[in-house]
Amino acid sequence: MAEKLFTEKSKYEIGEFWTSKQRQSHTLHYCISYRAAFKPELPQYFINRFLKKKKRIILDPFGGRGTTTIQANLDGHFGIHNDINPLSIFLAESRKVIPSIEKMEKIINGLNLHKKKSDETLDNDLIHFYHPKTLEEIKNLKEIYKDDKSPELTYLMLTALSRLHGHSDGFFSVYTFPQISIPASSQKRNNEKRNQIPEYKSIKERIIKKMKTDLSDPLPPFYHEFSKKNKYIRSFSYDMKEIPSESVDLIVTSPPFLDKVDYINDNWLKAWFLDIDLEFLKKVSIIQNPEDWKVFIQNTLRECHRVMKKNSYMVMEVGDVLYKKELLNLDEFVIESAEKSSLYWIKTIINSQKFTKLSNCWNIFNNEKGTNSNRCVVLSR
């Protein structure tokens, strides 16, 4: 494989194709943190590069927090968000309709969040994160949402979800990690080490403040024209039956990287808040063997071939992983898998950037001397 790649150097583009700065895109993208999410600039770059006309259909088979679909709508296209994780479906679909800030502020200020809730066994874990009165408000908001799935309540739930845990006063919790839900036992140790006790925090004022920040950028006037026709599909990437054959104009996606993200433990607090059962992900979300990962990608590419229009493009962003002390370039695996799926490898675009704080935090080591790269394999049908 390495020899073949060496002979096809012309198929590689290396440079900084989008900014390395953080939070440079529309604020709607930053409503919620999600592990392993790529930057909005990535799909925006490929949408502009490969789609010359508006009102095209853009698919992300591994939808994550909805970055590709949101950017598709912001750029005047329709989106299809697919993911097997029900949490992912909520994160994306909750931004299908963006209600007015004034209406949402009026609604949340009118909610009674101080009804006494019956005790739950889980409270023994949650008390390490929240003051009892804060927890009472969170649980009441959960109950209200069960009977009111309006766009306003749904967006307010998304905003509350983003405030569940973190390391500043803007979050509902005591000082903890912002992007992942650490185990209650770990939070208990953190509290003891930091000599901290959860203090009362009003969730209403924090939701309102965060909501106004996330919606500070005006939406394009055509946003809802496209978002209202989005599809949100929960299925495996290799079996997207709800998507018609030869219907997709562009695919921009990033698959899970070989045992790198624990979607269940990282999101247990979010799952509790939304009453989502993530246990089934134990069997489907983590692939530990490179050969199994190649088969998984090959099957995914075959299904993508089915739904893509002729002469359309697919972009699959991957990185490097350390497997048994060996550094593996996953883009090589994607190219190898594409050969068996009837898709053609056009080129690989490597966006090389300086390390960010989060890159160091997640132990990203795909380049030396403090650089980080997105390895984007471009395929065509």
| Contact assessment for residue 174 and residue 196, using Cβ atoms and an 8 Å cutoff | yes
pLDDT in tens, 208-229: 999 999 999 999 999 999 999 9
The arithmetic mean of pLDDT across residues 330-347, rounded, is 93
- Tell me: pLDDT of 306 over 80: yes
> Which of these three, 166, 181, 214, is where a domain ends?
214
Q: Which residues contact 219 (CB under 8 A, 6 or more apart)?
A: 28, 74, 98
Name the percent of the chain lying above pLDDT 70.
87
258 and 371 housed in the same domain? yes
Q: Give the pLDDT band (50/70/90) at residue 354.
A: low
70 and 107 housed in the same domain? no
Segment among 60-64, 121-125, 139-143 with least mean pLDDT = 121-125
355 and 272 housed in the same domain? yes
106 and 198 housed in the same domain? yes
pLDDT of residue 288: 76
- Tell me: pLDDT of 44 over 60: yes
203 and 252 housed in the same domain? no
Rounded-to-10 torsion of CA 225, 53, 92, 106:
-30
Q: Give the pLDDT band (50/70/90) at residue 117.
A: low
60 and 169 housed in the same domain? no
| Contact assessment for residue 139 and residue 115, using Cβ atoms and an 8 Å cutoff | no
Q: Which residue has the tokens 């006790």?
A: 197
The arithmetic mean of pLDDT across residues 3-10, rounded, is 54
295 CB burial (10 A radius; 0-12, 13-18, 19+): middle
299 and 372 housed in the same domain? yes
Q: Give the pLDDT band (50/70/90) at residue 72.
A: very high
260 and 315 housed in the same domain? yes
pLDDT of residue 359: 43
118 CB burial (10 A radius; 0-12, 13-18, 19+): exposed
- Tell me: pLDDT of 23 over 80: no
The chain-wide mean pLDDT, for the chain, equals 88
Q: Considering all CA atoms of the chain, what is the largest pairwise distance in Å, rounded to the nearest integer?
A: 69
pLDDT of residue 251: 98
226 and 281 housed in the same domain? yes
- When divided into structural domains, the chain yields a total of 2
The arithmetic mean of pLDDT across residues 186-195, rounded, is 96
pLDDT of residue 65: 93
pLDDT of residue 26: 94
144 and 207 housed in the same domain? yes
The 3-state secondary structure of 337-375 reads: HHCCCCCEEEEEEEEEEECCHHHHHCCCCCCCCCEEEEE
pLDDT of residue 224: 98
177 and 44 housed in the same domain? no
Q: What residue numbers bound the domain in which 187 lies?
A: 101-214
Whole-number Å distance between alpha carbons of 202 and 31: 19
The structure's pTM equals 0.89
355 and 289 housed in the same domain? yes
pLDDT of residue 353: 63
pLDDT of residue 284: 63
3-class SS at 279?
Answer: helix
Helices (H) and strands (E) in the chain, counts: 16, 10
- Tell me: pLDDT of 106 over 50: yes
> Which of these three, 184, 214, 244, is where a domain ends?
214
- Tell me: pLDDT of 369 over 70: no
Exposure pattern of 139-165 as b/e (b: 16+ CB <10 Å)?
A: bbbbebbeeeeeebbbbbbbbbbbbbb
Cα separations in angstroms, 177 against 172, 194, 360: 12, 13, 15
> Which of these three, 189, 214, 239, is where a domain ends?
214
pLDDT of residue 362: 36
CATH number, domain of 319, equals 3.40.50.150
